[in-house]
Amino acid sequence: MALRRQPRARQMRLAVELRRLREAAGLNARQAAALLGVSPAQITHIESALAGVSEKRLRRLAAHYDCMDEEFIDALVAMAIDRTHGWWEEYRGLLPTLFLDLAELEHHATFLREVQFLFIPGPLQTEDYARAVFAYRVPELPQEELELRVRHRMQRKVILEKTPYEAVIHEAALRINVSNRAASRDQLFRLAELSEADHVTVRVIPFALECFAGAASAMVYAGGAVSKLDTVARDAPHSTAFIDSEAQLGAFRTLFRKVEAASLEPDGSRELIHKLAKEL
């Protein structure tokens, strides 16, 4: 079977978890290969996501690694045999891979929690707002790619229909007019409307809050099938970083609770959003 040229983030996560299990068992790649009767190179390919792994082999590896967490193993198997070709696949080769990886992460998430300080979260953006954000990019995007990015962002809204989603947004993001006043007003009214939808919770951190120093806490926290498979996505200067180590995930869970506790309740947040919209 040909090796993958560019593994997806979800495939990489499976590979990382298999490597972690092997290392926790104190085995090297050669020893793991001997247990399966394959070459060490094949284990290396599996653990670098260049090759897939069958359910049978994955369960054999887990048994040899003395992993007794059946729920976790079942979740890994589901990742290994997943053949989902979601809506984002139509953008493969047209947009950067990270756009597709983020959409796939959101699709498989059991819940989503997002914190933003300068922008309205992507799934909550209007088309005019998203277009203004992408149009400001330097170097400037070709018009065709700009429109593809806007369309991709609009399609991400599908998660709001099925996945529990909570957004914590600083008042600064609500007040920054990334487009004209009319578009900004429409964005705020749309945000308030979405906040009343099933599965969606919107909270606002007001400027009036004292003793808040969490402005570096922007993140997307995606719940996995089990907590060990949670993922945090954070924007970096030129890309998006996916974080999945257990220690870091624990820190981000705590960080989200702190930011959430600093925000207004949903009803109070909605009132503030309406107030700011009417001021425009």
* 73-97 per-position pLDDT tens digit: 999 999 999 988 999 999 999 999 9
pLDDT band (50, 70, 90) for residue 61: very high
Burial class (CB in 10 A: 0-12, 13-18, 19+), 11: buried
Q: Spell out a b/e string for 167-200, using b for 16 or more CB atoms within 10 Å of the CB, else e.
A: bbbbbebbeeebbeeebbbbbbbbbbebbeeeeb
> Is 9-81 in CATH node 1.10.260.40?
yes
Mean pLDDT computed over 10-28:
97
pLDDT value for 200: 98
Share of the chain above pLDDT 90, in %: 91
User: Is pLDDT at 237 greater than 70 in this prediction?
Assistant: no
pLDDT value at position 163?
Answer: 97
pTM score, whole prediction: 0.94
Please tell me if the domain spanning 9-81 has the same topology as the one spanning 90-279. Answer: no
Distance from C-alpha of 117 to C-alpha of 219, rounded to nearest angstrom: 10
The pLDDT tens digits of the residues spanning 97-107 come to: 999 999 999 99
- Give pLDDT, residue 239: 72
Query: Domain-by-domain residue ranges, the chain?
Result: 9-81, 90-279
**Cis peptide preceding 139, ω within 30 of 0:** yes
The residue ranking higher by pLDDT, 211 or 236, is: 211
- Distance, CA of 107 to CA of 109 (rounded, Å): 6
Q: Which CATH class is domain 90-279?
A: alpha beta
HSE-CB of 157 using CA atoms within 13 angstroms: 15
